[in-house]
Amino acid sequence: MSGAGDRPGRFASPPCLAGEIAPDYFDPLAVDPQQESDVSRWRRAQRENLLAARTALGAAGREAAAQALMRHLTALLAMAGMGGAGSVVSLYWPIRNEPDLRPLLADLARQGVRIALPVVEAAGLPLSFRLWQPGLKLRPDPRGVPAPDTQAPFVRPDCAIIPALGWDREGHRLGYGDGAWDRTLAALSPRPLTIGVALAEGELRTLYPQPHDVALDLIVTPDGVQLDRRG
């Protein structure tokens, strides 16, 4: 038999105020609000600078960078055993002057790799991954990025190749400020091998990492692998 008397008792007031005095004692993602707002203002300014630097490279500079990146990524994927049939690799469809790796998507697909593209299904959600095939018609997701539509099956990537506007030598990445990749990597278990793709110009001394920032396993620039945190 159950009745009101079986329910656990409630306190008339919280047992102590420690949660308000030291929020991070209870919430591992909690940060000092002043520091959070300073970091986010600093990151906004860096994004502007880095987008300008990427534009300043010019189409030919960006094309040369993309060619070098594709060479390094091809070698890396082969070494990681992910360059052929049986693996699922997430790449990206370029926006905002990101290195255009579309020839690599096509090459890998020819080798039998299953290619995924990240999709924003709705603002604030982790990204989902849908299968891409050469010739697949894409349509803009809510962020305006060309993406497979809802007909394309979901897949779970073994490796995620992630564009980074900025990066530091601890593997932290600066994106466009949505936090979508951090949310996604926090939610994925097991986590895929994560490779950040960046320009040398994107290197920052530090990103002032915050508790929500997920460090990537590797960072690759046109000069080669800049860091590899795999064990």
Ligand X SMILES: Nc1nc2c(c(=O)[nH]1)N(C=O)[C@@H](CNc1ccc(C(=O)N[C@@H](CCC(=O)O)C(=O)O)cc1)CN2
Chain residues binding ligand X by CB under 6 A are 92-96, 98, 118, 120, 127, 143, 145, 163, 175-178, 180-181
Instruction: Give 203's DSSP letter.
Output: B
Instruction: Give per-residue burial for 83-122: e unless 16+ CB within 10 Å, then b.
Output: beeebbbbbbbbeebbbbbeebbeebbeeebbbbbbbbee
What's the number of CA atoms in the CB half-sphere (13 Å) around residue 200? Answer: 10
Q: 146 with 139: CB under 8 angstroms?
A: yes
Q: Which does 136 bind (CB under 5 to 8 A by kind): ligand X, ligand ATP, none?
A: none
Stretch in the footprint of ligand ATP (CB under 6 A) among 10-18, 63-71, 91-99, 171-179: 171-179
Nearer to ligand ATP, 35 or 133 (CB): 35
Q: Could you say whether residue 174 binds ligand ATP (CB under 6 A)? A: yes
Q: Which does 223 bind (CB under 5 to 8 A by kind): ligand ATP, ligand X, none?
A: none
Stretch in the footprint of ligand ATP (CB under 6 A) among 3-11, 74-82, 178-186, 218-226: 178-186
Q: Which does 102 bind (CB under 5 to 8 A by kind): ligand ATP, ligand X, none?
A: none
Closest CA to 114 of 152, 143, 149, 163: 152
Give, in order, the Cα–Cα distances in Å from 215 to each of 48, 149, 183, 196.
22, 29, 12, 10
Q: Residues 93, 129, 167, 181: which binds ligand ATP (CB under 6 A)?
A: 181
Interface contacts to ligand ATP, rule CB under 6 A: 40, 43, 173-183, 186, 212-213
